[in-house]
Amino acid sequence: MEDLQASETWRIFRIQAELIDGIETLNGLGPAVSLFGSARTPPDSPWYRLAEEVARGLSDRGLSVITGGGPGIMQAGNQGAQAGRAKAVGLNIRLPHEQHANPFQDLSIDFRYFFVRKLMFVKYAVAYVIFPGGFGTMDELFESLTLIQTGKIRRFPVVLMGSAYWCGLVDWMRQQMLAEGNIAEEDFDLFHLADTPQQALEVIDDFCRELESTDTNLRRMTDQTP
């Protein structure tokens, strides 16, 4: 029992260390967009190329791109961002399979705990762009919508790339969740569907222009992002 209690106590310090490391590393990053999607997407996939193009567009606008640091869509996002003028950030997680750090990272942080990593995704983001993916991608999607819906974070764009991939889920939300009264009609305004980089970037551009009118630091940070 004493060994177990000691282990639990030291776990608190490991969590604290991850929080400090993440905040100190990312605190000067400036405005960024968190990009999500499947680790299993191959480089020859149209989704990979689309993610790379979206990330390049964000980076060229001075918005750093934060991904989970792994392969697939995450690698595409970092690769596209690195080709632009802002930073490519990878928040890597230690997993028994699938996850290995991709080589396109200007800033790289390793995490043991999912919840600390997830905090970093949302803390430094002015938008989420979500590509087709599995359970992890859905987790990030619904967590962001929950935080925005409940007012726990400032509202920002959540862009779902690929309407054909997401339309079944959205239809189910209307036919089941909305019909049962578990969500409201206005909750569908919490996310946007996009099929092209231009559509996604336009949503984020509009939001950033709104922020600039209220946040005098945003333009300065964007202009100074290397």
Count of C-beta atoms within a 10 Å radius of residue 106: 16
How much of the chain is in helix, strand and coil states, percent to nearest 5?
55, 15, 30
Q: What is the pLDDT of residue 17?
A: 93
Q: Residue 105: which pLDDT band, with cuts at 50, 70 and 90?
A: very high
Question: Taking 70 as the threshold, does the pLDDT of residue 204 lie above it?
Answer: yes
Helix (H) / strand (E) containing 32: strand 32-36
pLDDT digits (tens, 9 = 90+) for 146-199: 999 999 999 999 999 999 999 999 999 999 999 999 999 999 999 999 999 999
Q: What is the pLDDT of residue 225?
A: 38
If you write DSSP's letter for every residue of 192-222 in order, what string do you get?
EEESSHHHHHHHHHHHHHHHHHH-HHHHHHH
Domains of the chain (ranges; CATH) run: 2-224 (3.40.50.450)
Mean pLDDT value of segment 118-143:
97
CA distances from 14 to 3, 5, 45 (A): 16, 14, 38
Question: Taking 80 as the threshold, does the pLDDT of residue 68 lie above it?
Answer: yes
Q: How remote is the C-alpha of 75 from its chain's centroid? A: 13
Q: Which amino acid is at 217?
A: N
Q: What is the pLDDT of residue 9?
A: 82
Q: How far apart are CA 159 and CA 201, in angstroms?
A: 9
Q: What is the pLDDT of residue 97?
A: 63
Mean pLDDT score across all residues of the chain: 91
Q: Report the side by side order of strands in the sheet with 107-111.
A: 107-111, 88-93, 64-67, 32-36, 125-130, 158-161, 192-194
Mean pLDDT value of segment 101-128:
95
pTM for the model:
0.89
Q: How far apart are CA 189 and CA 153, in angstroms?
A: 16
